[in-house]
Amino acid sequence: MNKNTTIQLNKPLVESLKKIKEYPRQTYNELIAHMIRVFKEVKKRNQYDKFLHEIQQPKMKELWDNKEDEAWENA
């Protein structure tokens, strides 16, 4: 049994895919698989960055929201 399927893509999207191929004979299957891998890596990295941001947020609030800084700004 064939494990391939047919999908419909609009022409501007196909043109965009053609422009980002890494080499001329790269298949759309290879290209999309590569894009998925890259997307997963970026998503994983963004989750890590978000995690760090959430951890740092209370300390940053403590550092920036204090009376000494407010007094200095109003001087």
Residue 9 — very low, low, confident or very high, per pLDDT cuts 50/70/90?
Answer: very high
- Residue 16 CB coordination number (10 Å): 11
Q: Is the pTM of this model over 0.85?
A: no
Give dist(CA 54, CA 61) in Å, integer. Answer: 11
Q: What is the pLDDT of residue 44?
A: 80
Q: Quick check: 71 pLDDT over 70?
A: no
pLDDT tens string 15-46 = 999 999 999 999 999 999 999 999 888 888 77
Report the C-alpha gap between 23 and 10 in whole angstroms. Answer: 22
Average pLDDT of 34-60? 82
- The whole-number pLDDT of residue 49 equals 77
